[in-house]
Structure 1
Amino acid sequence: MSDKVAHLRFPTPAPCGRTPLTASGLSKAYGSQEVFTDVSLAIDRGSRVVILGLNGAGKTTLLRMLAGVESPDTGEVVPGHGLKLGYYAQEHDTLDLDVSVVENLRHAAPDLTDTQVRSVLGSFLFSGDDADKPTRVLSGGEKTRLALATLVVSAANVLLLDEPTNNLDPASRAEILGALRSYEGAVVMVTHDDGAVEALTPERVLLLPDGDEDLWNDGYAELVSLA
């Protein structure tokens, strides 16, 4: 299995302005339960940010807001010049379950030829008939690989990644982390995986629920697996 995993690379990100994504004054509550209040974040071109916080601190909620999937109660998310967003959702809700594996990839990159689409899918271990399977029958690990494949072809310049290495076999995980390491765009990541943080080499950390930002230092590394 591991022999078949091709060397993945994210394509060169689409050009964008200096700050492709800005969020200011974001708050979210569910009923009387406040998740976080007044969180602001500016994502500069090529910057790398890890979001840390205990379970329930709103990490996934914040990524969903940045992706435009969920609305904040207060504040706003403002796309900068040329923003092209790639969002990896932990629950794979970016995939269309009603179409085939191949169709999901075509939606993400309509300019690719059929040969190119099948070649990318092959590198994510979907070869031959597997590529024509309906997406809804895939296992959790297969959905993870497909969702990541759609990101790889998207030329996004800001990736929002929510636990991208969950469910991956060791060979696929190593490939994704290698691709992340050499990716030139900006990344905002939520993860419990020390190896993913190491591959990302983050510059900054955002701590939830307080929304405090700090420069990354190794003292934060021990919070990753606790988060």
Structure 2
Amino acid sequence: AAHQMDRRADRLAAGLADVRVADRVAKLRFPDPAPCGRTPLTATGLSKSYGSLEVFAGVDLAIDRGARVVILGLNGAGKTTMLRMLAGVESPDTGEVHHGHGLRLGYYAQEHETLDTDQSVLDNMRATAPGTSDVELRRILGAFLFSGDTVAQPAGTLSGGEKTRLALAGLVCSAANVLLLDEPTNNLDPASRGEVLAALATFRGAVVLVTHDPGAVEALAPDKVLMLPDGVEDSWSADLAELITLA
């Protein structure tokens, strides 16, 4: 009976080891943001049209140091387009985006277009933080579950979840004081999603968030909301929470 119990304990322990491996998760923590002025990012009179379709017009936005802003709007209202403009990836038809003193932007793109798919995982990190040693970059990549030969793997061969982890690892290197996040919890397993939400909750810089994930908004605890396409900027209210999944 004792031998049978030992064998059963061994089988249970082996199963628990499998679970531990499967549940490994990147321990995500954004570093303290770089110092910046009181209002590091502003936008005035932004508009965008595609042909005869006007997406939004005359949008003004001011992102103060440490601000927590969520952008809401139905599909097609231009939420991703707005983030791309703020990130300098896309130009507005009218209006301007102004960089304040000490601005350091970190942009997470929903479709991972900030990654160079032809370059390796490690080379993508080098491009994000050119002054950081390979030893430190490999350490950060290891925290995001990239190790061994995987750091030499082309980013284009990664899965959606792996690309998300690589893009987030790049943000950790950036010391950004304004994060522009477009659906950062997509493609993540529940444990990794939890790490992202915990990191959002403790980040001390400014965040502009686009998401369909109510948990992400709850973790962010926004103080302002930008409603598109009208471009109305207002204080956040819990009454708006029901619009998150509809957006």
TM over 0.5: yes
Q: Which runs of 5+ in 2 are unaligned?
A: 1-20
Alignment partners' CA distance in 2, 1:186 and 1:87: 12
Distance apart, 1:139 and its partner CA? 1.1
CA contact (8 A) 2:37 2:102 kept: yes
Q: Which runs of 5+ in 1 are unaligned?
A: none
Q: Match for 2:240 among 211, 220, 224?
A: 220
TM-score (norm 2): 0.89
2:172 corresponds to:
152
2:34 corresponds to:
14
1:170 corresponds to:
190
Amino acid at match of 2:243: L
Distance apart, 1:5 and its partner CA? 2.2
Alignment partners' CA distance in 2, 1:174 and 1:25: 37
Amino acid at match of 1:213: E
Which has the higher mean CA deviation after the structures are superposed, 139-148 or 32-41?
Answer: 139-148
Answering whether residue 152 of structure 2 is matched by residue 137 of structure 1, we say: no
Q: For each residue in 1:7-26, what CA deviation from the matched residue of structure 2 results, as whole angstroms up to 9, or x when unmatched?
A: 32111111110000000010
Distance apart, 1:171 and its partner CA? 1.3
CA contact (8 A) 1:50 1:202 kept: yes
Question: Larger Cα Rg: Structure 1 or Structure 2?
Answer: 2
Answering whether residue 70 of structure 2 is matched by residue 50 of structure 1, we say: yes
Answering whether residue 90 of structure 2 is matched by residue 70 of structure 1, we say: yes
What is the total number of aligned residue pairs between the two structures?
227
Alignment partners' CA distance in 2, 1:209 and 1:43: 18
Amino acid at match of 2:64: D
Distance apart, 1:3 and its partner CA? 4.6
Which has the higher mean CA deviation after the structures are superposed, 186-195 or 214-223?
Answer: 214-223
Alignment partners' CA distance in 2, 1:221 and 1:20: 27
Distance apart, 1:115 and its partner CA? 2.2
Amino acid at match of 1:119: R
1:125 corresponds to:
145
Alignment partners' CA distance in 2, 1:69 and 1:8: 26
TM-score (norm 1): 0.97
Alignment partners' CA distance in 2, 1:81 and 1:52: 27
Q: For each residue in 1:177-206, what CA deviation from the matched residue of structure 2 results, as whole angstroms up to 9, or x when unmatched?
A: 111111111000000001100110100111
Alignment partners' CA distance in 2, 1:148 and 1:6: 10
Q: Match for 1:184 among 192, 199, 204?
A: 204
Alignment partners' CA distance in 1, 2:219 and 2:152: 32
CA contact (8 A) 2:119 2:155 kept: yes
Distance apart, 1:2 and its partner CA? 5.5
CA contact (8 A) 1:124 1:145 kept: yes
Alignment partners' CA distance in 2, 1:169 and 1:177: 12
Alignment partners' CA distance in 2, 1:181 and 1:118: 26
Task: Let me know the Cα RMSD of the aligned residues.
Answer: 1.1
Alignment partners' CA distance in 2, 1:58 and 1:2: 37
Q: What percentage of aligned pairs have identical amino acids?
A: 72
Alignment partners' CA distance in 2, 1:120 and 1:172: 15
